[in-house]
Chain A
Amino acid sequence: MPLLSVVDLAVSYGSGRDRLRAVDGVSLEVGRGETVALVGESGCGKSTLGRAVLRLEPVERGRIDFDGTDLVGLGAHALKRLRPRLQIVFQDPLGSLNPRLTIGETLAVPLAVQGIGRAERHERVGAMLAEVGLPVGSDRLYPHEFSGGQRQRVAIARALVSKPDLVVCDEPVSALDLSVQAQILNLLVRLKREFGLAYLFVSHDLAVVRHIADRVLVMYLGRVVESAPSEALWSRPLHPYTRALIEAVPDPARRRPAVPLAGDLPDPRNPPSGCRFRSRCPIATARCAEEDPGVREIEPGHAVACHLAPTGSFETTVRGGTP
């Protein structure tokens, strides 16, 4: 049984004509010790999905089975007991730390909630800060006294201090300098091995995801359009959107510049009929406007939501379509 199993999850805001379905029927699984990445443009619902898994967003329908318990139907008390096992690291490390608490106080909060005594709290906080590579004495400082990379180390320590099984990493390196990004990613990889963590890694940056993910889910307008093991996704992307994303990754070896995807993300309040990607798809046919392509498994572990995959015509259309 996977550690986390999300089935047909939908998250929406507002009601009536203004209803915005940020996540619309997504299913995914994260195994113990596995890193699953969610990629897509801003506004595709990947961050919302990550937060919804922690029950930080209003769930409209669906199941979130965590270690055999459905979090959606869970009462406040039972949810609170499970909270230490599900944690989150946010994108902006300064915004995710309370400016009026010292680092030591911030890290003690998750432990205090569990009713852990002062002495043990202090010990575990100190050990965790050392684990993420912060100098002794950091616990007495305030967030503004650290650099961006160090703040993200603090945020990671806060997430891990309660000994979670699953950590949602919501764009954890996007706000950091490139040189610091690598440090934080390496830290995440090391901590994952050390503590046997599973990550749900939300990112718009495919280069980052390639470095860290076992499996990748590509999201577009609140839906998963392709999911595959990391290597398969890179070597044989099946969905035209995935191809466009991969082409957009800067690559000095490539001779010709990437062809950017035409247009902007459509209004999620009013998504296109049929396939949601058809309004920007270079190979869309008449069928795409009428029929919603469900997610089909093309080969074990590799699923895609596209009418045209993986036929031969698909291959040639894409090659011929781009000059």
Chain B
Amino acid sequence: MTAPSPSAPAAVAETAARPSRPTMRALRALVGSRPAVAGLVVLGLVALVAILAPFVAPGDPLAMVARPFVRPGVSGAVPLGSDALGRDLFAGVVHGARASLVIGLAATVVGLLVGTLVGATAGYFGGRADLVLVRLIELFQTIPNFVLVVVMVAIVQPTIVTITLAIGIVSWPPVARLVRAEFRALGARDFVLAARAAGCGDLHMMLREILPNALPPVISTASVMVASAILMESALSFLGMGDPNLVSWGAMVGAGRDSLRSAWHVSAVPGLAIVVVVLALNFVGEGLEEAFDPRRTGERR
């Protein structure tokens, strides 16, 4: 009989002090990706500006403060120029960041919650529940997203809450598909069987055994979802269907549309803001996807 004395794992001594959570390792990988870090820095700055908007650009961003159509870099009072009504474009971009970020994030949270709930239920229980829910997902996916948003917002009052909900409602199906696939794959794994053999209930299995392992691809999708939610809100405001009391990048682009030939900067300035933020979110999404790649971390087989 061999004495049960396997050589202690070389890692024990060090790692006991420095627990290497799988999540921490993924974050370290993320920090190693240059575009992702650049994206994070940009997003951090935008978020900071949005939070500090009243201090960065004091006063009402909808107030007329200068002559109309001042070009960028001409006047120190309106560094990014002014629009047809003489409103400060810089103030507009700063305050517009609030609307874009809040709606983008909140709509994504709604989409993630609904999508995860539907996908987890379908993937875990399978059978008839799966059949019904997959049909529901497909139903939503056949309707063009933006048209559905326009219809929903047209029916109710366009406020920040209704716009958020409308965008959230169209953005859950891809999440549901993703989560369902993860739950199906993970549900057949031995560690899930082991938990069942231990007598764990469905809730424990879903929340503690499967969900944490299903989240990585969902998280990397989330940042791209924020980007597309921001784009959708911009498009909505561009069409004049946004919240009229809200400064929004999309609405600013839309307002500059009439004078596009004479004063293109009125549309270009907020348009550039949208491009930068969406690009940053996509960089972060790509970085996350790579960081969570099982072939990199080697934790899932």
Contact = CB atoms under 8 A, between A and B. Distances in A.
Interface stretch (B18-26, B159-167, B250-258): B18-26
B190 A96 contact: yes
A224 interface: no
Contacts of A145: 9, 11, 15, 20
Nearest to A191: B4
B200 A51 contact: no
B289 interface: no
A96 to B, nearest CB: 4
A99 B196 contact: no
Contacts of A79: 199
Residue of B3, B193, B201 most packed against chain A (CB within 10 A): B193
A110 interface: yes
B22 A109 contact: no
Contacts of A91: 190
A147 B10 CA distance: 10
Contacts, number: 122
B155 interface: no
Contacts of B213: 98-100
A91 B301 CA distance: 14
A141 B23 CA distance: 14
Interface in A170-189: 182-183, 186-187, 189
A98 B191 contact: yes
Nearest to B16: A137
A169 to B, nearest CB: 13
A140 B19 contact: yes
B1 interface: yes
Contacts of A186: 1-2
A113 interface: yes
Nearest to A133: B4
A98 B192 CA distance: 8
Contacts of B12: 135, 137-138, 141
A83 interface: yes
Nearest to B294: A99
A96 B198 contact: no
A95 B189 contact: yes
Nearest to A110: B198
B209 interface: yes
Residue of B21, B190, B204, B298 most packed against chain A (CB within 10 A): B190
B2 A88 contact: no
B245 to A, nearest CB: 44
Interface string B190-214: 1101111111110010001100110
Given A145-B15, A183-B2, A83 B209 contact: no
Given A142-B22, A183-B2, A186-B1, A135 B8 contact: yes
Interface in A67-114: 79-81, 83-84, 86-88, 90-92, 94-102, 109-110, 113-114
A245 B213 CA distance: 40
Contacts of A190: 1, 4
Interface string B17-47: 0011111000000000000000000000000
A87 B197 contact: yes
B128 interface: no
A96 B197 contact: no
Contacts of A189: 1
A4 B20 CA distance: 42
A56 to B, nearest CB: 6
B5 interface: yes
Residue of A98, A114, A158 most packed against chain B (CB within 10 A): A98
B6 interface: yes
A100 B3 CA distance: 30
Contacts of A84: 198-199
A35 interface: no
Contacts of B23: 100
26 contacts: A54-B197, A56-B197, A84-B198, A84-B199, A88-B194, A88-B197, A92-B190, A92-B301, A95-B189, A95-B301, A97-B191, A97-B194, A99-B191, A99-B213, A109-B200, A113-B200, A132-B4, A133-B6, A141-B11, A145-B15, A153-B4, A158-B198, A162-B198, A182-B2, A186-B2, A187-B4
Interface of B: 1-6, 8-9, 11-12, 15-16, 19-23, 189-191, 193-201, 204, 208-209, 212-213, 298-301
Given A87-B198, A183-B6, A186-B2, 11 more contacts: A91-B190, A95-B301, A96-B191, A100-B22, A110-B198, A133-B4, A142-B19, A144-B299, A182-B2, A186-B1, A189-B1
Leading 4 A-B pairs by shortest Cβ distance = A133-B4, A83-B199, A96-B190, A110-B198
